[in-house]
Amino acid sequence: METIPVELWQEILLRASTKDVARSCCVSTQWRDIVRDPSFRKLHHDRHATAHDVPDALLVATYNIDSQRVASVFPVEPAAVSPTSSTRTATAPICRVNHMEGYRIANICNGFLCFASHSTAKAIVHNPVTGERLEVPRAPRLPPDQDNARSPVTFALGFSPNNCVYKLFRFTNRTMDVYTLGRGAESTGWRRHALPLHPRNLVESKPAVVIGGKICMATIGPAPYRHPADNGTPGPVLVVDVAHEEPCTYSPPDYGLPWADAAVSVFELHGRLCLAIRTERMIQFWTMPVEEDDDDQPWQLLYKFKVVDDEIIRFNQFQRLVPMSAWLDGHTNTLCYREGNNVYRKYVGTTTATVRRFSSTKVVIMSWDSKICLPVASSSLSSFQWDIYAGYRPTLLSPLTFASGQHEEDDNKCDLFIRSLLRTLRSQKSQKCRPSPTSAGCTNAKRICCINPRGF
C-alpha cells in the first residue's frame, strides 16, 4: 500500500460512499489523514451530493437531561448503520446535540440537520457524522402584520446541485427570507422576497423536503363552510428553486373528496415529490416530478390504501394532533407510513423508480403488509418528544466550512468587548514592573519588582 501514490488513494476514496469512507479511517493512518483533509471532504461532498441514492430516515428525540434540552439522533433502520451492527450499536444514537432549548428540527438536507427557533429567529446546521454545528445569524424582524403568534413561520435548509450552494430559508404567508451559507457573491446577509400564499397557511408541523435543488412544502387551505381561520383541505404545494430563489405553487391533486378534511405530508420517492393524503377512509400517495420548470405538472396516483374502522374514529377525533409522516426504506424497498403510534409497511419493490402515468380509476386499493404498534411514552416523560424525518444522506463535510465571515451583529459586539478586555489584561500582565517611588528604600522596590531584579 505504501507504493501507491496518495493521489490514487484519494481518487479511489472519492468514488466510495460516505459510510465506506468513514470506515476506511480504521484501515491505516494514511487513509485517515486523507479522509480528515477538509479539501477531500469538500470534493467528496460535491461528488455525492447529486447522487440519486435512496435517503435514510432518522428518528430525532428531544428531552431534558440535567435541566438541559438535548436532541438525540438515531437511524430508523439498523442497516443504515452497518449490516453487521450489534443490538447495542444499532440502538446507540448517531449523535447528541446539546443546548437545544427552544429549538426544534426544521428539515433534513443531504447530511445536515437544520434546527430552528421561531422565538429567536435563529437556526443551527448540524452534521451528525462529524458532530459539528454552525449557528446561522439571526433572521431579520418580520413585518408588523406577521410578527404575532397567529402567523406561521417555517425554516428550511436547501441545496442547489448546480453550484453546490446551501441556503437557509424562512417562510411566512407573505414573505420569504433567504441566507446563503459561506462566502460568495450572494452571501451578503439576509434577503427578503414576496411570497403570496395568503389566505393559505404553511403546515408548520410538516418539514420541507429538498428534491433536485428545490424545496417542497405542503400548505393547507381554508375549510369549506367553516370559520375562515380554520384549515381542513390540502392547499397548493409550494416549490422553491434554491439557486434562483424563485417560488411557485402547484395545485393539489384531485383526491376525490374536495370538501372533506384531509391531512397531508410530503416526502421524496425515487427523486420525485410524493404527497401522502389522508382522508377519513383512504390514504393516497400521489407523485409528481419537480425537475422541469413546467407550471402544469401532472399528478400521478401511485397507491391507495383503505383505512380500517378503528382508524376512522381516531382520525375524526385527533386529525390535527396525531403526527403523520411517510418515507421509503431503501434497504428493503418498503413504503412506510406513520400515524401516531402506528407504523404501516408495504413492500413496493423498485418499480416506482420509473413511474408510469396512472389514472385514479386504474389504481387498485391495496392493503398494508404489516402494522407496527410503537410504545407509548409514559406521562412522566412530559418533556419527551420524537418524530421520524426522511431525506438523510450522510456526508463528511463540516458545517463550519460555511462559517467564514458569518457572525451575528450582537455576537460581534460581545466578541469585540471580550477581545478588548483580554488585550488590556494581557498587556498589563506583560508589562515590566518598575520600582515605585517610595521612601522605604530598595528593600520594598525589590519585593515589588521581583520579575527583573537585575536592574537594581
How far is residue 276 from each of residues 206, 329, 390, measured CA to CA in Å?
A: 12, 16, 14
Residue 420, in any domain of the structure: no
Residue 149, in any domain of the structure: yes
Residue 212, in any domain of the structure: yes
* Angle, CA of 333, 209 and 120, to the nearest 5°: 140
Quote the CA–CA distance of 182 and 172 in Å, as a whole number: 24
pLDDT in tens, 22-60: 888 888 888 888 888 888 888 888 887 766 677 889 999
Query: Above pLDDT 90, what percent of the chain?
Result: 23
CATH number at residue 223: 2.120.10
pLDDT in tens, 136-163: 999 998 877 665 555 678 999 999 988 8
Q: Write out the three cell numbers for 100.
A: 437545544
- pLDDT for the residue numbered 100: 82
DSSP assigned state of 352: G
Total domain count for the chain?
1
Residue 418, in any domain of the structure: no
Checking if the pLDDT of 179 tops 80, the result is yes
Q: Write out the three cell numbers for 26.
A: 480504521
Checking if the pLDDT of 71 tops 60, the result is yes
pLDDT in tens, 409-443: 445 556 667 777 777 776 655 555 555 554 444 44
- pLDDT for the residue numbered 127: 94
Checking if the pLDDT of 220 tops 90, the result is no
Mean of the per-residue pLDDT values for the chain? 77
- Over range 225-232, report the average pLDDT: 50
> For residues 310 and 99, which has the higher predicted lDDT (pLDDT)?
99
Checking if the pLDDT of 446 tops 70, the result is no
Query: What single letter denotes the amino acid at residue 146?
Result: Q
Residue 446, in any domain of the structure: no
Residue 290, in any domain of the structure: yes
- Over range 195-223, report the average pLDDT: 81
Domain that holds residue 152: 49-80+91-402
The CA radius of gyration of the chain, in Å to the nearest whole number, is 27
Residue 280, in any domain of the structure: yes
Residue 100's DSSP bridge partners are none
Stretch among 102-106, 118-122, 141-145 having the lowest mean pLDDT: 141-145
Question: Does the pTM exceed 0.85?
Answer: no
Quote the CA–CA distance of 439 and 450 in Å, as a whole number: 18
CB 260 within 8 A of CB 229: no
Q: Write out the three cell numbers for 416.
A: 469585540
Residue 237, in any domain of the structure: yes
Torsion of CA 218, 219, 225, 228, to 10 degrees: 160
Residue 38 burial (CB count, 10 A): 12
- pLDDT for the residue numbered 354: 43
Residue with cell 377525533: 317
pLDDT in tens, 258-309: 667 788 889 998 888 999 998 888 899 999 887 665 556 688 999 999 887 5
Checking if the pLDDT of 126 tops 90, the result is yes
Please report which helix (H) or strand (E) contains residue 410, including its range: helix 409-430
Q: Write out the three cell numbers for 170.
A: 424562512
Please report which helix (H) or strand (E) contains residue 316, including its range: helix 309-318
